[in-house]
Amino acid sequence: MSAPVKAFGREAARIPNVGASTAIRWMGRWRATARVDAKQRANADADHVRNAVGGGFGELNG
């Protein structure tokens, strides 16, 4: 497990009445969100590069 994930687990453990399964579910959601954010950033970067080059392919990909 990476350090941020461990830290997240420790934070969740501090909250009362949160079972291990809930903490794991939250952690999964948090990690999935991080993945989506990274993907969106990569797509945005690719669009910027295409626009700078003047290809204008951004419209084709939606």
Domain ranges of the chain: 3-54
What's the whole-model pTM score?
Answer: 0.30
Radius of gyration of the chain (CA): 18
Q: Give the angle 23-34-43 at the CA atoms, nearest 5°.
A: 160
Distance CA 34, CA 20 (A): 21
| Cβ neighbours of residue 45 closer than 8 Å, sequence gap 6 or more | none
Q: Give the angle 4-8-10 at the CA atoms, nearest 5°.
A: 120
Ordered per-residue pLDDT tens for the chain, 62 residues: 566 666 666 666 666 666 667 777 777 777 777 777 777 777 777 776 766 666 555 555 54
User: Amino acid letter at 26?
Assistant: W
